[in-house]
Structure formats: structure tokens, C-alpha cells
Structure 1
């Protein structure tokens, strides 16, 4: 199987010659481990793009407090000022372009065509042999970057007309990226919204179905019609809406595995035909465990999700604080069992 054939089979619960592998090349991983990370990844290339050596990078000279600790501020094209305390890790909004719901209609979104060209570039780089997913952005995450959390969640719960208008504008922005992905010949799109906390959803399933489900269905419809896969990421426990995600067109999910009973999640997703990206526990095992803990967990993931029967793939991302010995154990064990 080519890498592309392998991933497409896994997405559809068809047997594979070996479990597919996806890397996300995090800046913080290269900042902490440098060329060792390039050398490690080179031993086991993935299926979503050809391996190439990434240049280790780090903070700029002005990104430090007087005491020498990393502390940076950056404003994005949406007008949000971000505060960063850990290099390479998502920051926290410091200033919002829309401080209150009443000012929503004064806000102007950036030009979506500036970003959608990335879809064409990514597909052109990897067309043919490798499986290509194109970023189709987010909805609740974007809302939470534009307004304070209380304005977002209260607005959604109260079905405020202004936040509904803003959500529709964001969906229209995201739709351009999907149109470009289809035109470029991508294999699928990826969409990310964090709906869950450690033990439950942040919004009730009923509220989610009212506010998000119809918008996602309309947003994904062109990709579904064109036969693209839809890969959906959400942190936290979102078990009550997994079937809903399948109904709006999602073909796979990238879940926060420790929030679930692994066997139950594997069985649920197999019954729904919802493929799963296997992201080995980063909050505990990868950060605080031993290489033996990592090896044991990877084997358990491989067996629980019946990876050779299709329906899942390994996802590798080097977060801050991962001991290199654990990263090596992760990649070497995946190589052994895939």
C-alpha cells in the first residue's frame, strides 16, 4: 500500500498492511530536542506527508521578561492579542477584538482567501502518494478567541441573535477553505472545536445540537458531496455527540483518549464507522511516565483499536516537557507494532 492508500483504508475500517502514522511537527519539540527529533522521525516516516528535516527554532530576542523567562505578546490577523508563557504552545487571549456581545456587528472578519491558498499549496506538495488533510479551522474556538468566554457561553445558551450572526460569518469564512480544499483535490479536511472537559461536555448536548449541529452539517455538506473525509478534533469528553458528528459528515475523530474508557470508545467508534486518531496520553504518560509505561500504552492502544483491521492510526506530537527517552519509546514501539 502507498501511504495514501493506507490512510484511506484505515478511514473506512478496511484492513491495512500496517497501521498508518501521522506527525505534527511542533516548534516546541524542536526547541527542546533539536536535531535529535529530526533523527528520530527520519527512522519512521509518516503517511500524511513526506518526511523532511525541520529547522529547530526558538523565541525571538524580545520574547523574555527581565528575569529571563519566556513571555511574548502577538496580535493575529483577527485582532486578538495573545499572551504566551510557553514557547511553541498556544497562548491565552489578552485582549479581545469584541469585548462584549453588543459590539459584534462592528467587527469585520479578515479576508478568507489569504488563508485558503494554504490548502492548494499543501495538496500540491503531497499530491498522489501521501494522504492530505487541509485545515478548515474552527467555530467555538474562534468565538472564544474573539470574545471572552462568559460572553460566548452565555450568548450561546441564551440564543443571542448577535452571536448567531457572528457564528454564521465564521462559518462562511471556513467554507472558503473547504471550497479551496475540494478544488485542490485534497483527500479530506480537518476541523477542530473543543466541546468537552475532563468528565463532561462544556455545553449540554441539547444546546450543542441547537447551535452547532445544523451549522456543521451545512458547512461540511460540500465536502461530503465531493467525497472528502472530514476529520474532527475535540478535546474533552464528548461521547454524547459522537453519533451526531457522524451524522453531519465526520468520518474520523481525534479525541482526548484519557477522557474515555478506551475499550468503550473503540467499540462505539467502530459501530459508528468513525475512525480514530490515536494520540498517546500526553498529559500523564508521555510527560511523567517511563519509557516502559509508553511502550505498554502503545501496545494497549494497538490491540484495543484493532489497528490492523483499519479504523485508526497513530498520531505523534512532541509537546513541551516530554523526555526524549519517552519520545524515542513512542516512535520505536509504533515501528514495532504498526
Structure 2
């Protein structure tokens, strides 16, 4: 991982991914594996990400209602969420902080509170997502458990991810338009909170982390969700501060942001980001073309088309996998899907993909008929 992020050619291209729990269940079933089988261990994948408690308020889930098919809870983001157990992702129902005045009056819990890192408990990011989990294990224990077997990355959300979760996308975009400076002050307050959370996380890990993922979505399929100049004024400084803090602690930083970020991609290069993820193909992001344009100014993580994987067509998949490995020439590329592995991907398909990368991702690269000049 470190060699790749340093734009050197290691023995092979690093490979890992983010997996939906519904995919993992299908993968176990279709490959006749045990109930405890884990794709990270089974394939000896090359890195793994962990999430401490990043809730603005440290509190147990408040159950609104629950039955055998779904649960509705209010979380530490003061957000009410509905999780149907048979559906892959939850629904955001409502937000307590539904006016800018309520946001201004809101007080965050201490980012250095030890419960975030050293105690089990409910938290929205770990507990309400693809699956549903109460009383998530203490983050530091998860890090220690994984550390002998993987490069372990911590993670932190930044302003854009927080406002989506705590205020809702509609409120956030509306307030940017109605109260740009007033809302900008609140973005700065949120940015400081999560920068402090990241500092506290690094301190709590006490040398056990190998890197950091910064989560934040500011774009969709076509382009950014809002004016890039507004992003540069209020969001970018906090991302830059997070990257700087990582580097101060000798930790590479990978930014995860969905959608087409072409308008601000060079800003991430300017900030010294080590790699960008997930580079969604459906949003017209292409790691090979980006590598041609920007070379080793930044690393590329992801970009393998999950919609191609979902077809199960081995010829299409082989073409997608081998062509994107061109971006690994000279290092700087981590192989993953262009977001996460969904339940529409069969166990056999993912098994085939990992074997392809292990075979053709060895240096010096031999990409057969899909070799391209870089």
C-alpha cells in the first residue's frame, strides 16, 4: 500500500474493497463457505477501514418503532432513520435540526470523549447502513484485532458528509442558497469538530493506524451538487487541514467522494491528497485517463465498474479489470470497485475478479490485448 501510494511499483497492485453485508452472505452461500468466512481474510486483501463513533451526540439509539421487518431509530446525529432489514440501505426520515437557528444553537459533544474510541456503544455510521447493529464494539479493540493481519486505516467524515447526515441534503443545499455566509459559519464549526475528532482518533490509536480515509460526498452523476467556489471557500480548508494532520502523523490520506468531481479534482492534488476514491465510472470518472492527465501527482483508488461486475459476464469483466490496471503502471493505483461490492455481484464473479487481479496485477504488468500506452 505505501509503495503504491508513493508512486512506486510494489510486487503487485494492492486490492481490497468495501462489501455490502448482503453480498457477503451471498458470497458465503454460493462458494459453500462457513458463516464466519470473511472476504478480507479469505483473499488476504491489502487494507481495511475502521470507523470510530463520529456522532455529534454520543447517545444510544432511541427506538421509535421496531418489528421483524424494520426498525426506526433516532441517532446521535439527531436524525430519524428507517432500516428495512431486507433492503440494502436505510431511509433518512427526518432531522431534528431542521432550521438554521437550531443548528446555530446546537452543541457538539466532546470530540476527545474516550467513549468514541475506547467503549462499545451505538453510533450511526457503524450501526445504521447496509446492516443494522446496536452496541457496536469499541473502535480500538477492532483496530487491535485487525492490526496483525492488515494495514488498518482509520476514518473521519468531513463537513459535507456531516451536513447530509445531520441536516439532510435538501436543507443543506437550501441554506447554502438562502444564507450562504451564515451557513458557512456553521460549516466552519462542523469542520473544526471533525478535525478535532480526527486528531483524537489518531491519538487514541497510539501508532496503530496505517492511514486515514476522509469521507465526503459533494457531487453526483453529472457534476457537483453545489457551486465549486462555495466548496473552495468553506469545505476545502477543512479537508486540507485533515490531510495536513494525517501527513504530520506520517499517515497517508485517501479521500472517498462519490460522483463526478472533475471541477475540483485538481484541488485535491493541490492539497497533497495521496489518493482519491471511488472514482465512479457511472459518473464518467476514468482512472486511466486521469493518470494520463495528472500522472503521479495523486493516487487512484477504485474505478472498476460495479455495473459490469453485476452482469457476471466474464469477458466484459476481464476487459474492465485489465484495462483499468493500466493506471497501476509506475504505482499509484489501488484496485477496487467504483464504490462497493453490492448483492447483485455473485460470489463466483468476485472470486474471478480477485484471481484476475492477482494474476495480471503482478509487476511487471502484462495486460495482454488491453495494454495501453501511458
Shorter-chain-normalised TM-score: which range? 0.7 to 0.9
Conservation of the 8 A alpha-carbon contact between 1:190 and 1:232 = yes
1:281 corresponding residue in structure 2: 305
8 Å contact from structure 2 (residues 74, 81) kept in 1: yes
Structure-2 residue corresponding to 1:326: 349
Structure 2: any 5+ residue segments left out of the alignment? 50-65, 119-137, 362-374
CA distance in structure 1 between the aligned counterparts of 2:47 and 2:92, rounded to whole angstroms = 31
For residues 170 and 183 of structure 2, what CA distance do their matches in structure 1 show?
12
What are the Cα deviations for residues 184-220 of structure 1, in whole angstroms up to 9, with x where unaligned?
2222211111121212111222121112112222343
SS of 2:277's partner is: strand
**Structure whose residues are more often helix by fraction:** 1
Matches within 5 A, 1:1-338: 7-34=1-28, 36=31, 38=37, 42-48=41-47, 62-64=67-69, 71-85=70-84, 87=86, 89-112=88-111, 113=113, 114-117=115-118, 120-127=140-147, 130-183=150-203, 184-185=206-207, 186-258=209-281, 259=283, 260-272=285-297, 274-282=298-306, 284-303=307-326, 305=327, 307=328, 309-315=330-336, 317-338=340-361
Q: In the alignment, which residue of structure 1 is the partner of 2:63?
A: none
Contact 1:26-1:88 at 8 Å conserved across structures:
no
Identify if the C-alpha distance between structure 1 residues 209 and 228 changes in structure 2 by more than 3 Å, giving closer, same or farther: same
| Residue 169 of structure 1: how far off its partner (Å) | 3.3
Distance (whole Å) between structure 1 residues aligned to residue 303 and residue 344 of structure 2: 16
- Contact kept, 8 Å, 1:194 with 1:235, in 2: the verdict is yes
In structure 2, C-alpha distance between the alignment counterparts of 1:324 and 1:125, rounded to whole Å: 26
Query: Is the CA contact (8 Å cut-off) linking 2:223 and 2:263 kept in structure 1?
Result: no
Match of 2:17, SS state, is strand
Other structure's SS at 1:24 match: coil
**Alpha-carbon spacing, 1:262–1:318, altered in 2? closer, same or farther (3 Å):** closer
| TM-score normalised over the length of structure 1 | 0.81
Structure 1: 5+ residue stretches without partners:
1-6, 51-60, 65-70
Aligned equivalent of 2:128? none
Instruction: Assess if the C-alpha contact under 8 Å between 1:28 and 1:319 holds in 2.
Output: yes
The 8 Å contact of residues 40 and 328 in structure 1, kept in 2 or not, is answered as: no
Offset of 1:128 from its aligned partner? 6.7
Task: Report the Cα offset of residue 18 of structure 1.
Answer: 0.6
Q: In the superposition, relative to structure 1, how do residues 177 and 39 fare at CA in structure 2: closer, same or farther (>3 Å)? A: closer
CA RMSD of aligned residues (A): 2.8
Alpha carbons 1:254, 1:278 under 8 Å: kept: yes
What's the secondary structure of 1:136's corresponding residue?
strand
Deviation sequence 1:283-315 (CA, Å, 0-9, x none):
x21223513222221111112x0x252101122
Query: Once structures 1 and 2 are overlaid, which stretch shifts more, 84-93 or 291-300?
Result: 84-93
Please state whether the residue corresponding to 1:23 is helix, strand or coil: coil
Question: How many angstroms apart in 2 are the aligned matches of 1:41 and 1:191?
Answer: 21
Report the more deviating stretch, 226-235 or 325-334.
325-334
Q: What SS does structure 2 have at the residue aligned with 1:78?
A: coil
Alpha-carbon distance change, 90 to 247 in structure 1, aligned in 2, over 3 angstroms: farther
